Amino acid sequence: MDILKNIDELLISWGTAPSLADMLDQFIAFALVLIVAFLADVICRNILLKVVAHLIRKTKATWDDIVFDRKVLIHLSRMVAPVIIYVFIPVAFAETSSSTLGFIQRVCLIYILITFLSFINSFLKAVYAVYSEKEQLRDRPLKGMLQTVQVILWFVGAIVVVSILIDKSPLSLLAGLGASAAILMLVFKDSIMGFVSGVQLSANDMLKVGDWIAMPKYGADGTVIEVTLNTVKVRNWDNTITTIPPYLLVSDSFQNWRGMRESGGRRVKRSINIDMNSVRFCTPEMLDKYRKIRLLKDYVEQTEAVIEEYNKKHHIDNSVLVNGRRQTNLGVFRAYLTAYLKSLPDVNKELTCMVRQLQPTDRGIPMELYFFCAIKDWVPYEGVQADVFDHVLAIIPEFDLQVFQSPSGRDFQRVLS
Predicted confidence pLDDT, tens digits, the chain (417 residues): 455 455 555 555 555 555 555 555 566 667 777 788 888 878 877 777 777 766 766 766 665 666 566 567 777 777 788 888 777 777 666 555 566 677 777 888 888 888 888 888 888 887 777 777 776 666 566 666 777 777 778 878 888 888 877 777 777 666 666 656 666 666 667 777 777 777 777 767 788 888 889 998 888 999 998 887 778 899 998 999 999 988 888 888 898 988 888 888 899 999 999 999 999 988 888 888 888 888 888 888 888 777 777 777 766 665 544 444 578 999 999 999 999 999 999 999 999 999 999 999 988 999 999 999 999 888 899 999 999 999 999 999 999 999 988 776 666 666 676
Residues β-bridged to residue 224: 234
Angle, to 10 degrees, between the axis of helix 98-131 and the axis of helix 142-166? Answer: 180
Strand order through the sheet with 232-236: 241-244, 232-236, 220-227, 212-215, 255-256
- Please report the pLDDT score of residue 176 as a whole number: 61
- Please report the pLDDT score of residue 397 as a whole number: 92
Contact assessment for residue 252 and residue 301, using Cβ atoms and an 8 Å cutoff: no
- Nearest Cα neighbor of 364 from 394, 410, 403 is 403
Phi, psi of 347 (to 5 degrees): -100, 130
Phi, psi of 177 (to 5 degrees): -70, -20
User: Rounded CA gap, 183 and 169, in Å?
Assistant: 22
Extents of the domains making up the chain: 2-131, 202-262, 266-416
User: Rounded CA gap, 52 and 21, in Å?
Assistant: 44
- Please report the pLDDT score of residue 210 as a whole number: 84
Dihedral sign computed on CA atoms, order 287, 292, 295, 299: positive
HSE-up of residue 116 (Cα within 13 Å, Cβ side): 15
User: Rounded CA gap, 229 and 225, in Å?
Assistant: 14
Contact assessment for residue 163 and residue 169, using Cβ atoms and an 8 Å cutoff: yes
- Please report the pLDDT score of residue 380 as a whole number: 92
Pick the CATH number of 202-262 from 2.30.30.60, 3.30.390.10, 1.10.3720.10, 3.90.230.10: 2.30.30.60
User: Rounded CA gap, 148 and 298, in Å?
Assistant: 66
The identity of residue 411, as a single letter, is D
- Please report the pLDDT score of residue 359 as a whole number: 93
